[in-house]
Amino acid sequence: MKYSTKFLFALLVAHLFIFSACKKLEKPLGNDVTEDQVFSSAINAQSFLFETYRVIIPYGFPYATNTVSSHMYRSMESNLCDESEFTIGYSVAASINISGYAPNDGFLTNDVFSYNYAGIRRCFVVLENIDRVPDYSDAQKSQIKGECKALLALRYSHMLKYYGGVPLVKKRLTVEDDLKIPRSSVEETVNYIAQLCDEAEAALPDSYEGRFTGRLTKGVAMAIKAETFLYAASPLFNSSTPYISSASNSLVSYGSYDANRWKAAADQSKKVIDWALANGYSIINTGNPFDDYGVATSKEDNKEILLSFKGQLNQNGFTRYYLPTLGAFNAGSGINFNILPQFYKADGTNQTWPTLADGKKPYAEYKQKMDDMEPRFRQMAWIWGQSPYANPTNPRFQWSFSTENGQVISYTNVAKLVKFTYKYEGGNNGNYAPDWAVFRLAEFYLDYAEALNEYSPNNVEAYTALNVIRNRAGLPSILSSNPAYNTQATLREAIHRERAIELFAEDHRSFDVRRWKIASQPGVIGGDFYGFQYTRNNASTAYLDYQVYKFETRFWQDKMYLTPIPQVEVDKGYIIQNPGY
């Protein structure tokens, strides 16, 4: 859903005008930019709103600086689990993988706690002032209030995934207010998110005219609620036994199991699907799985995108820290060997991979095994010594052997990660970055399948929803592939595996393994991690063989099921730290 030229211009106005103005809004009235000025006209208020979009909506590509977002510097969430590894150069994720989170070090975290509340405050500034704008109609004011409530819900939902229950700020705070707001329980946090979503849905339209495409719709409010309910229903929160027991269990768990939480998640996910199909969205399936998945994950404004981050910044994190730059200090991310068994071959069967004990195997075998993989893997993988499957002729992606000194080449991955670059048209450098898809329709088919299987085992609709995603990928329906997937446990396994493939590197896996409470299993987040080692024939541009090798042992403790609250906040005396820190 790409913003039009006018909408992009408005965002630029927001960057130039509001980025500095927002700080002044924190000061008393009378400065050179005041609330009276911001809300004196629709154009000024709109600019402030669009900048609020940029602050609130999550962005998953690496940032070149850690000052513009709650996201990690030079890192992706994918780098914190079995999906991938940032390959060359410093990154926050690399440090966390070795030592874990550090509540007293604001750098060693996958979320900047205070940044969340900066965005929340902006939403309340709009909510409390939008009625003052003289050239907005009542209907427009109501819609903008709906947008801000959905943005609030989105940010609180984001925080729920990281921290569990959080302090719920429900208005713009002033110096006269009691600023000592304690954390709310998981249940209270989920309920407040749901309330905001319901209020937003009632005020938001199903779509916008072309120049405003990209703003929040009814479907986005539904989607935020659906994802929140899925997390609420999952074992991390929906349990009588928290991951670590403490005196404040309600902050990290419901304290009981209730199957109806799965039903609520299933019903809400189905509501998203039904809304999407009624409003022009659909799973892209033209019968060409390779191209269809490439379009769904790489092309802006395609039929699967419900919400994306579009407020691009003047920084080069995507081109410098995501795109592989062979031989440069930074070389993007690579796919870990640990995740490789999750992917199918193109015919839906399992690939056979070498083990650590097998030693060297011919490079030709490596290439053949990669060529045999399913389309989704080939869309995201740039295998060693070849051109990417998704960009075979793009000069940006031509393999270079010139930087390899010596014969044995050790890498931390089995292929470079190039998902989101199907038919890539950007350059080598500069500040280009594609949109980041926050909600893609495929997610909600998998959410629906998962929640329904937990609440109503063997329900035919769970199989149908799962098969929509499998069939688009060129895989046979799950029971045709293996009749053994006819129980709740085996279907759960298939759904979890499908999420690992379909949503790879889309900021789901790191949280999925936590909400399923399997993150403690060796090789998922902590434990030994493996890649391939290659021998190069120095007389030619070719590799001779490959073998599995261990490149690092990552850190894990059960306290890492949730991110720590910064110690500086805990030391204020009214916010309780997550257990174990």
Instruction: Give tens-digit pLDDT for 459-493.
Output: 999 999 999 999 999 999 999 999 999 999 999 99
Do 89 and 74 form a contact (C-beta atoms < 8 A)? yes
**282: confidence class by pLDDT, cuts 50, 70, 90:** very high
CA distance 188 to 208: 33
CA distance 554 to 550: 11
- Give the per-residue pLDDT at 540: 64
- Residue 64 phi, psi (nearest 5): -85, -10
Type of residue at 303: K
CA-based angle 85:64:320, to the nearest 5? 65
473 DSSP assignment:
T
- Give the per-residue pLDDT at 542: 82
Q: Please give the model's pTM, rounded to 2 decimal places.
A: 0.92
- Give the per-residue pLDDT at 73: 77
The Cβ of residue 22 has, within 10 Å, a number of other Cβ atoms equal to 20
**Helical H runs in 286-362?**
289-298, 317
Instruction: Inform me whether the pLDDT recorded for 511 exceeds 90.
Output: yes
- Tokens representing residue 253 in the block: 């768990």
The number of residues making up the chain comes to 581
- 436 DSSP β-pair partners: 309
- Give the per-residue pLDDT at 101: 95
- Give the per-residue pLDDT at 63: 82
Do 335 and 464 form a contact (C-beta atoms < 8 A)? no
Lowest mean pLDDT among 260-269, 395-404, 493-502: 395-404
- Tokens representing residue 374 in the block: 């399913």
Q: For the chain, how long is the longest CA-to-CA vector?
A: 75
- Give the per-residue pLDDT at 410: 63
- Tokens representing residue 491 in the block: 């279907």
Angle 42-56/113-129 helices, nearest 10 degrees?
160
Nearest residue to 326 via CA among 382, 248, 265, 243: 382
Residue range 301-324, pLDDT digits in tens: 999 999 999 876 566 788 888 888
Structural domains of the chain in order of their starting residue, each with its CATH number: 5-60+109-282+562-570 (1.25.40.390), 317-434+524-560 (no CATH)
Percent of the chain with pLDDT over 70: 87
Instruction: Inform me whether the pLDDT recorded for 573 exceeds 50.
Output: yes
* Number of DSSP helices (H) and strands (E) in the chain, helices first: 20, 10
Sign of dihedral through CA atoms 213, 471, 467, 367?
Answer: negative
Helix (H) or strand (E) holding 407: none
Do 499 and 380 form a contact (C-beta atoms < 8 A)? no
Pairing status of strand 542-554 against strand 436-440:
unpaired
- Give the per-residue pLDDT at 201: 99
- Residue 85 phi, psi (nearest 5): -140, 130
Q: Which long-range contacts (CB under 8 A, 24 or more apart) does 68-71 make?
A: 68/313, 68/315, 69/112, 69/115, 70/111, 70/112, 70/113, 70/115, 70/116, 70/158, 71/111, 71/112
Instruction: Inform me whether the pLDDT recorded for 8 exceeds 80.
Output: no
- Give the per-residue pLDDT at 427: 60
**23: confidence class by pLDDT, cuts 50, 70, 90:** very low
**Helical H runs in 91-185?**
92-99, 113-129, 138-163
- Give the per-residue pLDDT at 32: 66
- Tokens representing residue 12 in the block: 């630029």
**300: confidence class by pLDDT, cuts 50, 70, 90:** very high
- 553 DSSP β-pair partners: 528
Instruction: Inform me whether the pLDDT recorded for 131 exceeds 50.
Output: yes
**64: confidence class by pLDDT, cuts 50, 70, 90:** confident
As to burial, measured by CB atoms within 10 angstroms (0-12 exposed, 13-18 middle, 19+ buried), residue 313 is: middle
Do 446 and 503 form a contact (C-beta atoms < 8 A)? yes
Tokens 């935020």: give the residue. Answer: 224
CA distance 538 to 402: 10
Query: Averaging pLDDT over each range in 8-12, 56-60, 279-283, which range is the top one?
Result: 279-283
Interacting residues of 247 by C-beta distance below 8 A, sequence separation 6+: none
- Give the per-residue pLDDT at 317: 82
CA distance 170 to 316: 35
- Give the per-residue pLDDT at 14: 39
* SS3 (DSSP) at 552: strand
Do 301 and 2 form a contact (C-beta atoms < 8 A)? yes
Residue range 378-391, pLDDT digits in tens: 999 999 989 999 99
- Give the per-residue pLDDT at 357: 97
Q: What's CA 207's distance to the chain center, in Å?
A: 24
Instruction: Inform me whether the pLDDT recorded for 17 exceeds 60.
Output: no
Instruction: Inform me whether the pLDDT recorded for 457 exceeds 60.
Output: yes
- Give the per-residue pLDDT at 395: 79
196, 201, 207, 213 alpha-carbon torsion, rounded to 10°: 0
**375: confidence class by pLDDT, cuts 50, 70, 90:** very high
